[in-house]
Chains A and B, each alone.
Chain A
């Protein structure tokens, strides 16, 4: 769901990344620690990640168990209150965070692998391979991902985070492929790549040793965007009721909050935290990405 926002790939027209073979790490660091966008974004994402990892360890009961009184507003005992069934919303929230990061890693990961592979091969090989892969990319690109996912997952018997991630990955890679392709295209004509090719090295090695490292910053940013996109798509699926069976996630929390009338029963503590969690994660990822962009791309630095 993040094809545009801040994606450096949309700036096809703008020049590619600087192929300075030895980027000065110290210089990057110098700007990184001084970039507020990067720091704030990273700070929020990491603290939420930490919460998702550590939080569940301190909760003795399962997130869906009935532990407390019903429909309680937030209190000292139940930090985010309880649901109509007496489930602890704080517990659901931290477990949900964990699941949300997981789906980001699975979905984003699968999309990243497919996207970059297709992009590199197409951009490097060119010719008929490029034509075919490009065609494929365009086909998947125009298919509306969520609707495809709805139709596919509706038929699945058992739905889990993993399967969901794979399907999300399978439908959301095209823009990354496109962006990587255009970068690889420009890099593959550089002298040092030609040199490597003349020396008879295998395509795969040229891609991994010569091309990829020179656009690593670019790849990192693509992954971050795919990560955030997967989270949003997964939340949408969960909300429609096609989430992991018996699972916990922020999207499923939103679904049950809506299903069990939290809006009309005035239980704001049920539907605000999950949405806020998703927004915080994805929003900070985006902002983090802008920060990264500024650090890696000297032209954008505001001096």
Chain B
């Protein structure tokens, strides 16, 4: 069991190293010059002045040292929590900018992942092997998972936000409010949160329901179920066992789906102009701010790795087999 966790940790560490290396390599081996593109926005009229500014900023960003030094200092900076300096928000540190966006993304992600997982599993388990329900929920579920996140978001923004006019469709809170800890502001935060949350919740819901439904069907067809059935055990009992066994792959599924849900969150944020990481990525792209783009990438990777690790631990704790091993080992 410790071996299991150790292996996982090693994989995550390796992933991290690879991600960092990719991150470092991409801008240095691709064409284009971040400093020049930053300065081309500065509408400096005089070429000489521009040239001098160019040299200055190249130095500031460390692009003028040998490659291996750049790589080493990249790691050194990383451990100091230094992800570089933003181009579009020069001279703000990239980390600060990301940290400001993270709460909004987490505020969307956590509730929608957890709630859709719980509700989806319930629906799926309920639907399995009940012909009528199965025939309606299955197609609906598949259609929901097949929906591009941004399209559902657009549909919701259009129908609930613009046509019906009941909910705001853009931003994290009303621009007419001072940012403060008041009911007025918090309720504004909440109303702006509803639509993005809803669109992520709905898309994810379909996937979990189907996953659970399929899993339960496999379980119900498994030998132990048939055996129980032959013994004359009540259907409720068999289904309960099936549900509990089906939960395990669903937890692993959570880890596998993280990347997808996260991508969905980024796209959804863009539709709603929600001030999280997705919108930040879009801004960075529009402003050609690769420092922010790459910082966000690293941040997201680390977040996913940590989440994966938490899920691994949960899995170990929930899985009866490993649980037995643990208690067995202790005893």
Q: A264-B162, A275-B148 are in contact. Are A151 and B293 (CB under 8 A)?
A: yes
The A-B contact count (CB < 8 A) is: 201
CB-CB contacts below 8 Å: A250-271 with B: 251, 254, 257-258, 263-264, 268, 271
Q: A143-B301, A302-B131 are in contact. Are A3 and B14 (CB under 8 A)?
A: no
A157–B271 Cα distance when bound, in Å, is: 26
Q: Which of B54-62, B68-76, B215-223, B232-240 has 4 or more CB atoms under 8 Å from chain A?
A: B215-223
Size bracket of the B interface? 35 or more
- The answer to whether A155 touches B148, judged by C-beta atoms less than 8 angstroms apart, is no
Q: A5-B207, A239-B270, A283-B143 are in contact. Are A263 and B154 (CB under 8 A)?
A: yes
Q: What chain B residues lie within 8 Å of A68 (beta carbons)?
A: none
- The answer to whether A150 touches B281, judged by C-beta atoms less than 8 angstroms apart, is yes
- The answer to whether B148 touches A13, judged by C-beta atoms less than 8 angstroms apart, is no
Interface of A: prevailing SS: helix
Q: A271-B154, A275-B154 are in contact. Are A147 and B221 (CB under 8 A)?
A: no
- The answer to whether A283 touches B142, judged by C-beta atoms less than 8 angstroms apart, is yes
- The answer to whether B285 touches A13, judged by C-beta atoms less than 8 angstroms apart, is no
Q: A4-B253, A142-B308, A240-B270 are in contact. Are A278 and B297 (CB under 8 A)?
A: no
From the candidates B31, B146, B305, name the one contacting A283 in the complex (CB within 8 A): B146
- The answer to whether B300 touches A144, judged by C-beta atoms less than 8 angstroms apart, is yes
A229–B153 Cα distance when bound, in Å, is: 19
CB-CB contacts below 8 Å: A47-101 with B: none
The distance from the CB of A174 to the nearest CB of chain B, in whole angstroms, is: 9
A12–B253 Cα distance when bound, in Å, is: 12
Q: Which of A118-126, A133-141, A183-191 has 4 or more CB atoms under 8 Å from chain B?
A: A133-141
A232–B308 Cα distance when bound, in Å, is: 23
The distance from the CB of B218 to the nearest CB of chain A, in whole angstroms, is: 4
How does the 8 Å CB contact mask read for B11-22 relative to A, with 1 for contact and 0 for none?
Answer: 110110011001
Report if A46 contacts B (CB, 8 A). no
Number of interface residues of A (CB under 8 A): 64
The distance from the CB of A96 to the nearest CB of chain B, in whole angstroms, is: 13
Q: What chain B residues lie within 8 Å of A239 (beta carbons)?
A: 148, 150, 267, 270
- The answer to whether A157 touches B31, judged by C-beta atoms less than 8 angstroms apart, is yes
- The answer to whether A11 touches B210, judged by C-beta atoms less than 8 angstroms apart, is no
Report if A175 contacts B (CB, 8 A). yes
A143–B263 Cα distance when bound, in Å, is: 11
How does the 8 Å CB contact mask read for B222-254 relative to A, with 1 for contact and 0 for none?
Answer: 100000000000000000000001001100110
Report if A235 contacts B (CB, 8 A). yes
A228–B147 Cα distance when bound, in Å, is: 11
Q: What chain B residues lie within 8 Å of A236 (beta carbons)?
A: 148-150, 263, 267
Q: What chain B residues lie within 8 Å of A142 (beta carbons)?
A: 11-12, 15, 255, 259, 304-305, 308
- The answer to whether A147 touches B300, judged by C-beta atoms less than 8 angstroms apart, is yes
A258–B260 Cα distance when bound, in Å, is: 22
- The answer to whether A287 touches B142, judged by C-beta atoms less than 8 angstroms apart, is yes
Q: A5-B142, A240-B270, A279-B151 are in contact. Are A145 and B301 (CB under 8 A)?
A: no
- The answer to whether A279 touches B214, judged by C-beta atoms less than 8 angstroms apart, is no
From the candidates B30, B210, B293, B305, name the one contacting A6 in the complex (CB within 8 A): B210
From the candidates A157, A268, A274, A286, name the one contacting B145 in the complex (CB within 8 A): A286
CB-CB contacts below 8 Å: A274-289 with B: 274-276, 278-283, 285-287
How does the 8 Å CB contact mask read for B153-173 relative to A, with 1 for contact and 0 for none?
Answer: 011011000100000010000
- The answer to whether B32 touches A155, judged by C-beta atoms less than 8 angstroms apart, is yes
Report if B294 contacts A (CB, 8 A). yes
Q: What chain A residues lie within 8 Å of B290 (beta carbons)?
A: 154-155
Q: What chain B residues lie within 8 Å of A144 (beta carbons)?
A: 258-259, 262-263, 300-301, 304
Q: What chain A residues lie within 8 Å of B208 (beta carbons)?
A: 4
A232–B304 Cα distance when bound, in Å, is: 20
From the candidates A14, A241, A263, A286, name the one contacting B146 in the complex (CB within 8 A): A286
Report if B44 contacts A (CB, 8 A). no
Interface residues of B (CB under 8 A from A): 11-12, 14-15, 18-19, 22-23, 26-27, 30-32, 131, 138-139, 141-143, 145-152, 154-155, 157-158, 162, 169, 206-208, 210-211, 214-215, 217-218, 221-222, 245, 248-249, 252-253, 255-260, 262-263, 266-267, 270-271, 281-282, 285-286, 290, 293-294, 296-297, 300-301, 304-305, 308
A-B pairs with beta carbons under 8 Å apart, 23 shown: A4-B211, A4-B256, A13-B248, A13-B249, A144-B263, A146-B260, A147-B262, A151-B26, A154-B293, A239-B267, A240-B281, A241-B285, A242-B285, A254-B150, A254-B154, A264-B162, A275-B148, A275-B155, A276-B151, A279-B148, A283-B145, A299-B221, A300-B221
